[in-house]
Structure 1
Amino acid sequence: MKIRILIPALSLLLLMSCKTTTNNITYFQDLDNQASIITEQPINYAPRIAPDDQLSIIVSGTEPNAVAAFNMPLTSYLAPGETNVTSTPVLHTYLVNSRGEIDFPVLGKLQVANMTRSELTDMLTEKISAYVKSPIVTIQIRNFKVSVLGEVNKPGTVNVPNERLSVLDALGMAGDLTIYGNRANVLLIRDNNGRKEYHRFDLTSAEILTSPYYYLQQNDVLYIEPNKARKGNAKYSQSGQFNVSLASTIISALSVLASLGIALLVK
């Protein structure tokens, strides 16, 4: 009789355990409730230019000779660890200094920090139009990268070819979270003009899709902390290693004592 009662109880406990595990790893569990809100709130993803950014700026137009003065010359360089100069010349990049300025040909020093790429494009187009008819300005942020650390399959730095990268894009490029990643508490670290900002995401909720931090900016860091199961395993592993080390020490000591005892008996 007791066995008949015990079996259903264990089955119920197992089902509850499976349900809890699924709830911990499933993304966007309340998506149906948030769908209308998500479609009504567009998010601005354009990153802002910051000190130490590297900008590629190319000016073109119908008169190549006229726009030549506004372009940095092509150069060849030595790649790290190489002894031969690269055969394909590349354009210089403009480094934004600590004051948020770049030194641009003809125009001189320009304040560019906290501008979007399109805003800087409009400003340069207006200024260069005083010298050249209908210039075309093309700008790229060359050092756009984010770091994804913690419980992901491929932790490291992700280089971004364009300026639109969401939290989900970054996690996808890092191979997604491992089964041990805490999906309810993803940490974002952002450097905003020397001031650190912190924000946390819950990947199990669809609210992340409307967050102002959903789109990442250059040099952002995402950290996925381990869940309780991983922390428990790590604690058990450390305890297990300590016990093995202690047992090995005791066995070694007993072996030495046994050897001394045998030696004394022989004498």
Structure 2
Amino acid sequence: MKAQFAIIGIAMLLAATSCRTSKDSLNYFEDTRATNDIEFNLQDCKIKLEPHDELFISVTSLMPEATAQYNLPLANPAKLGSLQESSQMRQQTYVVDSNGDIKFPMLGQIHVEGMTTEQLAGYLTEEISKEVKDPIVKVELVNFKVSVLGEVRMPGTITIPGERVSILDALGQAQDMTEYGDRSNVLVIREENGKATYHYINLNKSDVMTSPYYFLRQNDVVVVSPNKVRQDNSKYNNNNAYKLQVTSTIVSACSVIASLVIALTVK
């Protein structure tokens, strides 16, 4: 009887330890528990313009007629083949070509690749000021999106309304990781200079905030890897499925053989 109680006690202790370990593995920035005051210099999060970016640029002033020639004409945003057409006209957007250029009214071709939207707005303001007094230039990146895949509750592509998004923001938009997400092994895939680069980051460590991959760029892909529990479950389920398939095949074969034996015996 005492041995049974001892075994039960050990089992409960192991279960409690297992639960605690699992809980700890779900925490972000575990190293912050050791201190209440940690400071980091965050990486520059300003987005640099790249080919295929889509820009909204508007130019206004106290005299709208003076800046009208610097704006693209209005257009109907309804998509081709749509049964319903939008009655609200909108200003067209610019798409950065493969050379990193846009064609701007009156100013011609402008190389914008590598600029921030603020720098482009400043450049346009300076150039337009040569002809128009006190122009107001607004530049927005309208196709800033990232994808979040893997062990998250809502995988998919997320459109970013502003120009600053951290990996935590993206995970928040994806409804956070599942309990099977490996916070120490998160992959960020990024296209730089025409090449795909990748980097693994550890969200259990707070110094990830100093990583150049902490703030995401347009078209980044975040992939949350499954933890060991998920991988083991997957292997277990695959093995069981294989065993079930083999067993089913053997049973079917035995059934066919038995039918043949019975048929031959009857004859």
Taking structure 1 as the reference length, the TM-score comes to 0.93
Query: What residue in structure 2 maps to residue 2 of structure 1?
Result: 3
Instruction: State the Cα distance separating 1:203 from its structure 2 match.
Output: 1.6
Letter paired with 2:21 = T
CA shift digits 1:84-111 (9 cap, x unpaired): 4321112211111111110000000101
Instruction: State the Cα distance separating 1:2 from its structure 2 match.
Output: 3.4
SS state of the match for residue 30, structure 2? coil
SS state of the match for residue 230, structure 2? helix
Query: What residue in structure 2 maps to residue 255 of structure 1?
Result: 255
User: Is 1:180–2:185 an aligned residue pair?
Assistant: no
Alignment of 1:224-263 (within 5 A): 224-263=224-263
Instruction: State the Cα distance separating 1:77 from its structure 2 match.
Output: 4.3
Q: Which runs of 5+ in 1 are unaligned?
A: none
CA contact (8 A) 2:43 2:209 kept: no
The 2-side partners of 1:120 and 1:77 are apart by: 25
Query: What residue in structure 2 maps to residue 217 of structure 1?
Result: 217
SS state of the match for residue 139, structure 2? strand
Assess, with a 3 A threshold, how the Cα gap between structure 1 residues 145 and 226 changes in structure 2: closer, same or farther: same
Assess, with a 3 A threshold, how the Cα gap between structure 1 residues 241 and 4 changes in structure 2: closer, same or farther: closer
The 2-side partners of 1:261 and 1:177 are apart by: 57
Assess, with a 3 A threshold, how the Cα gap between structure 1 residues 32 and 254 changes in structure 2: closer, same or farther: closer
Range moving further from structure 2, 53-62 or 89-98: 89-98
Instruction: State the Cα distance separating 1:204 from its structure 2 match.
Output: 1.7
The 1-side partners of 2:151 and 2:54 are apart by: 30
Query: What residue in structure 2 maps to residue 23 of structure 1?
Result: 24
User: Is 1:266–2:266 an aligned residue pair?
Assistant: yes
Question: Which stretches of structure 1, 4 residues or longer, exceed 6 Å deviation after superposition?
Answer: none
Letter paired with 2:17 = M
Range moving further from structure 2, 122-131 or 191-200: 191-200
The 2-side partners of 1:167 and 1:81 are apart by: 37
Query: What residue in structure 1 maps to residue 13 of structure 2?
Result: 12
Instruction: State the Cα distance separating 1:149 from its structure 2 match.
Output: 0.5
Instruction: State the Cα distance separating 1:175 from its structure 2 match.
Output: 0.9
The 2-side partners of 1:139 and 1:115 are apart by: 11
Assess, with a 3 A threshold, how the Cα gap between structure 1 residues 9 and 195 changes in structure 2: closer, same or farther: same
Alignment of 1:186-205 (within 5 A): 186-205=186-205
RMSD: 1.7
Letter paired with 1:164 = R
CA contact (8 A) 1:121 1:138 kept: yes
The 2-side partners of 1:85 and 1:232 are apart by: 52
Letter paired with 1:216 = L
The 1-side partners of 2:77 and 2:23 are apart by: 53
Instruction: State the Cα distance separating 1:4 from its structure 2 match.
Output: 4.5
Assess, with a 3 A threshold, how the Cα gap between structure 1 residues 12 and 83 changes in structure 2: closer, same or farther: closer
The 2-side partners of 1:36 and 1:212 are apart by: 22
Instruction: State the Cα distance separating 1:197 from its structure 2 match.
Output: 2.6
Assess, with a 3 A threshold, how the Cα gap between structure 1 residues 46 and 234 changes in structure 2: closer, same or farther: same
Assess, with a 3 A threshold, how the Cα gap between structure 1 residues 126 and 35 changes in structure 2: closer, same or farther: farther
Letter paired with 1:158 = I
SS state of the match for residue 214, structure 1? coil
The 1-side partners of 2:10 and 2:152 are apart by: 36
Range moving further from structure 2, 165-174 or 237-246: 237-246
CA shift digits 1:197-248 (9 cap, x unpaired): 3222212222223333221111011000111111111111111111111111
Instruction: State the Cα distance separating 1:81 from its structure 2 match.
Output: 4.2
CA contact (8 A) 2:32 2:38 kept: no
| Aligned length, in residue pairs | 266
Query: What residue in structure 1 maps to residue 168 of structure 2?
Result: 168
SS state of the match for residue 18, structure 2? helix
Instruction: State the Cα distance separating 1:193 from its structure 2 match.
Output: 2.2
The 2-side partners of 1:184 and 1:2 are apart by: 40
Assess, with a 3 A threshold, how the Cα gap between structure 1 residues 60 and 33 changes in structure 2: closer, same or farther: farther
Instruction: State the Cα distance separating 1:154 from its structure 2 match.
Output: 0.5
Q: Which runs of 5+ in 2 are unaligned?
A: none
Assess, with a 3 A threshold, how the Cα gap between structure 1 residues 12 and 249 changes in structure 2: closer, same or farther: same
